[in-house]
Structure 1
Amino acid sequence: MIKGIRHILFDLGGVLLNLDYSRTEQAFRDLGIENFDEMFSQLKQTPLFDELETGKIGKADFVAGLRSAAGIEVSDEDLLKAWNAMLLDFPLRRLQLLQQLRLHYDLLLLSNTNEVHEEAFNLILNQAHGLSIGMLFDKVYLSHRIGMHKPDAAVFEHILNENGLKAEHTLFIDDSPQHIETAKRLGIQTIWLEKGMTIEGDIFLQK
């Protein structure tokens, strides 16, 4: 038990779900999009990713935006497969840890994600472990479903208020320092999962 903590709010990608962004980069190169880094950087300056992440656009509009930026004719299926290539696996030990933690704490999930990735990571979880993400937590907050995302303070305030949680009794675990900083400013206890760290190997050591 962690002294004073009653609720744990987890990030998803890089904390529970292993990611490898280079796989998406390579997948786009394999489709003939050699300038993926440049394309991705340019797209970040447009509303495309923010709108996908906050549910303002869906899969069809996102794919159309990707295809337009790529400047070549690529099928929807191939573009989506490349976009999902970064999503790896949910290690069994990590899922077992969540089950153990749930005996002692309220577990919540807050992820900046999108319609495309939600479908893909639930498929990964189901095929490997027979689970869906909602089965692991008391409450799940996905940015595209709630129309808010980190690091905006509003999303943390929404979760605290909706569940009647006190910030000082809530622990937030994330691998992005800018998300951690917002939570800290609101009085939430935080753990920044730095590169190379895992929750099962560095935070919650199983005896």
Structure 2
Amino acid sequence: MIKTIIFDFGDIFINLDKSATPAQLEKFGIKNLPESIVAINQEYEKGLISSEEFFNSYKKEFSTVEKDQFLDAWNAILVDFPEYRLEFIKKLAAEKDYQLLLLSNTNEIHIDWVKENVSFFNEFQQCFDAFYLSYEINFRKPDANIYEYVLKQHDLKPEECLFIDDTKENTDAAAALGINVWNLEPTREDVIDLFTTKKELFS
């Protein structure tokens, strides 16, 4: 029996264009990121370095890039947040049938953009019993410790949880811990159809 639903954010609630940032960065000659920069991206997503240190790492590697250009390119992945998904989570929160958690790999620059461009972000955040962003808790998916952290914080039994994420690597890692998962395919599925798509978990 599902008692807790854990949602990802990107491509579950907010639409993403995952090809947009690499395409924008390529305009400035930034392509085929070296391993050192890939590692920096992950450190930044875990909140282990500041936004300034993050940009400076790119500037050091790609000297032609300017900060405003870089920020625009970095945020190009973020598209829009359809309001009908807000209505879905508001209704779910009001019914109080499940504990609702959000667990997202994200970073300060992206969240700053969301706060500035999604007028109802605060209202959305308040729908959840807890709101876990990787850069605030210093863990990132698909590392097992991020799921273990959330389970421990709320004294959850994995078999009573459902985790929804668009990245198979992330749902596989959660499933390995005994958590029920939905690897949502954003081009053909929508989180608002949760109770029909995964009805076997709620019957």
Deviation at 1:90, TM superposition (A): 1.1
Of the candidates 103, 119, 126, which is equivalent to residue 135 of structure 1?
A: 126
2:111 pairs with one of 109, 114, 118:
118
> In structure 2, what is the Cα distance between the partners aligned to 1:6 and 1:80?
39
TM-score by length of 1: 0.85
List alignment gaps of at least 5 residues for structure 1: none
Which amino acid in the other structure matches residue 28 of structure 2? I
Match of residue 14 from structure 2: 17
TM-score calculated relative to the size of structure 2: 0.87
| Number of residue pairs the alignment of both structures matches | 194
Letter of the 1:191 counterpart? W
Q: Which amino acid aligns with 1:33?
A: F
- For residues 43-89 of structure 1, the C-alpha deviation after alignment (integer angstroms, 9 at most, x for no partner) is 566421111011110110111112223231x3322211210111111
Aligned to 1:33: 28
* 1:14 Cα deviation from its structure 2 partner: 1.2
1:53 aligns with 2:48: no
Structure 2 CA distance, aligned partners of 1:147 and 1:98?
26
**Displacement after TM superposition at 1:133 (Å):** 4.8
What whole-Å deviation, never above 9, does each CA across 1:136-172 have from its counterpart, x for those lacking one?
Answer: 3110111111111111111111111111211111100
C-alpha distance in 1, partners of 2:11/2:114? 13
Taking the aligned partners of 2:41 and 2:74, their CA distance within structure 1 comes to 12
Of all paired residues, the percent bearing the same amino acid is 35
Quote the RMSD (CA, aligned, Å). 2.0
Unmatched 5+ residue regions in structure 2? 197-203
